[in-house]
Amino acid sequence: MKTPLKHLICAAFIGLASAPETPAQEAAYWLTFENQTLKNSGTTGGVAESREPRSTTLSPELTLDPELARWTCELPAAADGKQGVELVLPASQSALRLNRQGDALAISTWIKWQGPDRHGDRRQMIVSTLSENQQTGWAFSICEDGKLRFDWRPDQGPPSSRESESTLSAGQWHHVAMSWQNDVRDGGLSFWIDGLPAGITRTFTGGGPLSDNAEPVVIGATQGYLPLNGSIADFRIFTEPMSETLLGRLAERKGR
Protein backbone atom coordinates (compact mmCIF):
# COMPACT_ATOMS: atom_id res chain seq x y z
CA MET A 1 0.00 0.00 0.00
CA LYS A 2 1.38 3.41 -0.92
CA THR A 3 1.90 5.95 1.83
CA PRO A 4 -0.08 9.18 1.26
CA LEU A 5 2.09 12.05 0.03
CA LYS A 6 1.14 14.24 2.98
CA HIS A 7 2.49 11.59 5.36
CA LEU A 8 5.80 11.41 3.47
CA ILE A 9 6.17 15.18 3.66
CA CYS A 10 5.39 15.21 7.38
CA ALA A 11 7.96 12.47 7.98
CA ALA A 12 10.64 14.39 6.10
CA PHE A 13 10.09 17.44 8.26
CA ILE A 14 10.92 15.49 11.42
CA GLY A 15 14.49 16.56 10.58
CA LEU A 16 13.50 20.18 11.19
CA ALA A 17 13.24 21.71 14.63
CA SER A 18 9.61 22.05 15.65
CA ALA A 19 10.22 25.25 17.61
CA PRO A 20 10.24 28.61 15.80
CA GLU A 21 13.55 30.15 14.82
CA THR A 22 15.34 31.83 17.72
CA PRO A 23 18.41 34.06 17.98
CA ALA A 24 20.30 30.99 19.24
CA GLN A 25 19.79 29.37 15.85
CA GLU A 26 22.78 31.06 14.29
CA ALA A 27 25.19 29.41 11.90
CA ALA A 28 28.58 28.37 13.24
CA TYR A 29 29.92 28.91 9.72
CA TRP A 30 28.41 31.34 7.22
CA LEU A 31 30.26 32.29 4.06
CA THR A 32 28.52 34.99 2.02
CA PHE A 33 31.57 35.68 -0.25
CA GLU A 34 30.47 39.32 -0.14
CA ASN A 35 32.91 41.78 -1.72
CA GLN A 36 35.15 38.88 -2.78
CA THR A 37 36.13 37.76 0.73
CA LEU A 38 36.20 34.39 2.50
CA LYS A 39 35.20 35.87 5.85
CA ASN A 40 33.20 33.60 8.14
CA SER A 41 30.22 35.61 9.39
CA GLY A 42 29.12 32.74 11.63
CA THR A 43 29.64 32.50 15.38
CA THR A 44 33.02 30.76 15.02
CA GLY A 45 34.53 33.80 13.28
CA GLY A 46 37.76 33.82 11.31
CA VAL A 47 38.42 33.57 7.59
CA ALA A 48 38.32 30.48 5.39
CA GLU A 49 41.56 29.49 3.67
CA SER A 50 41.81 28.56 0.01
CA ARG A 51 43.80 25.37 -0.63
CA GLU A 52 44.84 24.66 -4.20
CA PRO A 53 46.03 21.40 -5.80
CA ARG A 54 49.79 21.07 -6.11
CA SER A 55 51.45 22.39 -9.26
CA THR A 56 48.47 24.57 -10.15
CA THR A 57 47.70 28.28 -10.00
CA LEU A 58 43.98 27.80 -9.44
CA SER A 59 42.09 30.02 -7.01
CA PRO A 60 38.46 30.64 -5.99
CA GLU A 61 36.45 32.84 -8.37
CA LEU A 62 34.17 35.16 -6.37
CA THR A 63 31.55 37.09 -8.34
CA LEU A 64 28.19 38.80 -7.83
CA ASP A 65 25.53 36.81 -9.69
CA PRO A 66 22.62 39.02 -10.88
CA GLU A 67 20.36 35.99 -11.39
CA LEU A 68 20.70 34.93 -7.75
CA ALA A 69 21.37 38.43 -6.34
CA ARG A 70 24.11 36.94 -4.17
CA TRP A 71 27.88 36.71 -4.17
CA THR A 72 28.99 33.31 -5.44
CA CYS A 73 32.12 31.18 -5.29
CA GLU A 74 33.34 28.85 -8.01
CA LEU A 75 36.10 26.42 -7.01
CA PRO A 76 37.94 25.46 -10.23
CA ALA A 77 39.17 21.92 -10.87
CA ALA A 78 42.47 20.86 -12.42
CA ALA A 79 42.54 19.97 -16.11
CA ASP A 80 42.08 16.25 -15.43
CA GLY A 81 39.05 16.90 -13.23
CA LYS A 82 40.45 14.79 -10.38
CA GLN A 83 41.57 17.60 -8.06
CA GLY A 84 40.18 21.01 -7.26
CA VAL A 85 40.36 24.08 -5.05
CA GLU A 86 38.83 23.63 -1.60
CA LEU A 87 38.02 26.06 1.21
CA VAL A 88 39.24 25.16 4.70
CA LEU A 89 36.94 26.52 7.40
CA PRO A 90 38.64 28.31 10.32
CA ALA A 91 39.08 26.57 13.70
CA SER A 92 37.30 23.50 12.37
CA GLN A 93 39.70 20.66 13.27
CA SER A 94 37.66 19.89 16.38
CA ALA A 95 34.29 21.29 15.26
CA LEU A 96 31.32 19.35 13.88
CA ARG A 97 32.80 15.95 14.79
CA LEU A 98 29.39 14.36 15.51
CA ASN A 99 31.20 12.05 17.93
CA ARG A 100 28.95 12.58 20.97
CA GLN A 101 25.40 11.71 21.86
CA GLY A 102 23.17 14.69 21.13
CA ASP A 103 25.37 16.12 18.35
CA ALA A 104 23.56 17.47 15.30
CA LEU A 105 24.41 19.08 11.97
CA ALA A 106 22.50 21.11 9.39
CA ILE A 107 23.88 22.48 6.12
CA SER A 108 22.29 25.05 3.81
CA THR A 109 23.70 26.43 0.58
CA TRP A 110 22.83 27.56 -2.93
CA ILE A 111 24.49 25.53 -5.69
CA LYS A 112 24.75 25.83 -9.45
CA TRP A 113 25.88 22.32 -10.37
CA GLN A 114 27.38 21.86 -13.84
CA GLY A 115 26.80 18.11 -14.12
CA PRO A 116 29.08 15.04 -14.07
CA ASP A 117 32.84 15.55 -14.21
CA ARG A 118 35.74 13.44 -15.42
CA HIS A 119 36.96 11.91 -12.15
CA GLY A 120 36.07 8.26 -11.52
CA ASP A 121 34.15 8.61 -8.24
CA ARG A 122 30.43 9.35 -8.65
CA ARG A 123 30.52 11.96 -5.84
CA GLN A 124 31.33 15.67 -6.01
CA MET A 125 31.96 17.14 -2.58
CA ILE A 126 29.94 20.00 -1.13
CA VAL A 127 31.54 19.80 2.33
CA SER A 128 33.54 17.10 4.09
CA THR A 129 35.56 16.04 7.13
CA LEU A 130 36.61 12.69 5.62
CA SER A 131 40.12 11.44 6.36
CA GLU A 132 42.49 10.60 3.52
CA ASN A 133 41.52 6.91 3.67
CA GLN A 134 37.84 7.88 4.09
CA GLN A 135 37.53 5.70 7.21
CA THR A 136 36.56 8.52 9.58
CA GLY A 137 34.40 11.64 9.32
CA TRP A 138 31.42 12.57 7.15
CA ALA A 139 30.69 14.13 3.75
CA PHE A 140 27.78 15.89 2.03
CA SER A 141 28.01 15.61 -1.76
CA ILE A 142 26.24 15.56 -5.13
CA CYS A 143 26.19 12.35 -7.16
CA GLU A 144 26.75 12.24 -10.90
CA ASP A 145 23.00 11.70 -11.39
CA GLY A 146 22.17 14.87 -9.41
CA LYS A 147 21.13 13.18 -6.16
CA LEU A 148 22.30 14.54 -2.81
CA ARG A 149 24.33 12.13 -0.67
CA PHE A 150 25.57 11.90 2.92
CA ASP A 151 28.43 9.55 3.89
CA TRP A 152 29.37 8.81 7.48
CA ARG A 153 31.73 6.58 9.43
CA PRO A 154 30.12 5.33 12.67
CA ASP A 155 32.07 4.96 15.87
CA GLN A 156 31.12 1.30 15.69
CA GLY A 157 30.28 -0.52 12.49
CA PRO A 158 31.07 -0.15 8.76
CA PRO A 159 30.88 3.05 6.68
CA SER A 160 27.43 3.94 5.39
CA SER A 161 25.65 6.42 3.14
CA ARG A 162 22.22 7.53 1.96
CA GLU A 163 21.06 9.45 -1.12
CA SER A 164 18.09 11.66 -1.91
CA GLU A 165 15.28 10.55 -4.19
CA SER A 166 14.97 13.97 -5.85
CA THR A 167 17.72 15.31 -8.10
CA LEU A 168 19.29 18.63 -9.08
CA SER A 169 19.11 19.99 -12.62
CA ALA A 170 22.50 20.92 -14.07
CA GLY A 171 23.20 24.54 -14.97
CA GLN A 172 20.56 26.00 -12.64
CA TRP A 173 20.71 27.54 -9.19
CA HIS A 174 19.13 25.34 -6.52
CA HIS A 175 18.95 25.63 -2.77
CA VAL A 176 20.05 22.40 -1.06
CA ALA A 177 20.00 21.47 2.61
CA MET A 178 20.50 18.47 4.85
CA SER A 179 20.07 17.68 8.53
CA TRP A 180 21.62 14.99 10.75
CA GLN A 181 20.86 14.15 14.38
CA ASN A 182 22.90 11.52 16.25
CA ASP A 183 20.11 10.62 18.65
CA VAL A 184 17.22 10.31 16.18
CA ARG A 185 16.81 6.96 14.45
CA ASP A 186 13.62 7.68 12.47
CA GLY A 187 14.10 10.94 10.56
CA GLY A 188 17.61 11.66 11.84
CA LEU A 189 18.84 12.28 8.28
CA SER A 190 16.89 14.47 5.85
CA PHE A 191 17.55 16.17 2.50
CA TRP A 192 15.82 19.18 0.89
CA ILE A 193 16.00 20.74 -2.58
CA ASP A 194 14.54 24.22 -3.09
CA GLY A 195 12.89 24.07 0.32
CA LEU A 196 11.03 20.80 -0.33
CA PRO A 197 11.76 17.35 1.16
CA ALA A 198 13.97 15.40 -1.28
CA GLY A 199 13.32 11.94 0.20
CA ILE A 200 15.81 9.16 0.96
CA THR A 201 16.40 6.14 -1.28
CA ARG A 202 16.82 3.70 1.63
CA THR A 203 15.32 3.70 5.12
CA PHE A 204 17.56 5.45 7.65
CA THR A 205 17.81 3.72 11.03
CA GLY A 206 20.40 5.80 12.84
CA GLY A 207 24.15 6.15 12.53
CA GLY A 208 25.79 8.24 15.28
CA PRO A 209 28.00 8.91 17.11
CA LEU A 210 30.66 9.00 14.37
CA SER A 211 34.34 8.07 14.32
CA ASP A 212 36.42 11.08 15.31
CA ASN A 213 39.33 12.65 13.45
CA ALA A 214 41.19 15.96 13.40
CA GLU A 215 40.57 16.85 9.75
CA PRO A 216 39.33 20.39 9.10
CA VAL A 217 35.92 20.98 7.56
CA VAL A 218 36.48 21.69 3.86
CA ILE A 219 34.14 22.97 1.15
CA GLY A 220 34.29 21.88 -2.48
CA ALA A 221 36.50 18.78 -2.26
CA THR A 222 37.94 16.26 0.20
CA GLN A 223 41.70 16.07 0.64
CA GLY A 224 41.84 18.02 -2.64
CA TYR A 225 39.99 15.31 -4.57
CA LEU A 226 36.40 14.69 -5.77
CA PRO A 227 35.92 18.40 -6.59
CA LEU A 228 32.55 20.07 -6.95
CA ASN A 229 31.80 20.94 -10.57
CA GLY A 230 29.94 24.17 -10.01
CA SER A 231 29.47 27.24 -7.82
CA ILE A 232 28.07 27.86 -4.34
CA ALA A 233 26.52 30.83 -2.54
CA ASP A 234 25.28 31.68 0.96
CA PHE A 235 26.92 28.64 2.57
CA ARG A 236 25.92 27.90 6.18
CA ILE A 237 26.55 25.15 8.74
CA PHE A 238 24.52 24.87 11.95
CA THR A 239 25.11 22.69 15.00
CA GLU A 240 21.38 22.05 15.44
CA PRO A 241 18.46 21.26 13.11
CA MET A 242 17.02 24.18 11.17
CA SER A 243 13.48 25.29 11.91
CA GLU A 244 10.95 25.04 9.11
CA THR A 245 10.76 28.84 9.10
CA LEU A 246 14.50 29.23 8.68
CA LEU A 247 14.72 26.62 5.94
CA GLY A 248 11.96 28.36 3.99
CA ARG A 249 13.65 31.73 4.31
CA LEU A 250 17.06 30.45 3.21
CA ALA A 251 15.51 28.77 0.16
CA GLU A 252 13.89 32.00 -1.07
CA ARG A 253 15.28 33.26 -4.36
CA LYS A 254 16.14 36.97 -4.26
CA GLY A 255 17.18 37.62 -7.85
CA ARG A 256 15.21 37.96 -11.04
**Spatial separation of the C-alpha atoms in residues 14 and 36, rounded to whole Å:** 37
Burial class (CB in 10 A: 0-12, 13-18, 19+), 138: buried
Q: What is the pLDDT of residues 138-160, one digit of tens each?
A: 999 999 999 999 999 988 888 89
- Domain-wise residue ranges, the chain: 5-250
What would the mean pLDDT of 27-50 be, rounded to a whole number? 98
Q: What is the pLDDT of residues 76-118, one digit of tens each?
A: 998 888 899 999 999 999 999 999 999 999 999 999 999 998 7
The CATH fold of domain 5-250 = Jelly Rolls (2.60.120)
Ordered alpha helix ranges (H), the chain: 5-12, 244-250
What was the pLDDT predicted at 91? 97
Q: Which residues contact 24 (CB under 8 A, 6 or more apart)?
A: none
Which band of pLDDT confidence, cut at 50, 70 and 90, is reported for residue 181? very high
What was the pLDDT predicted at 16? 54
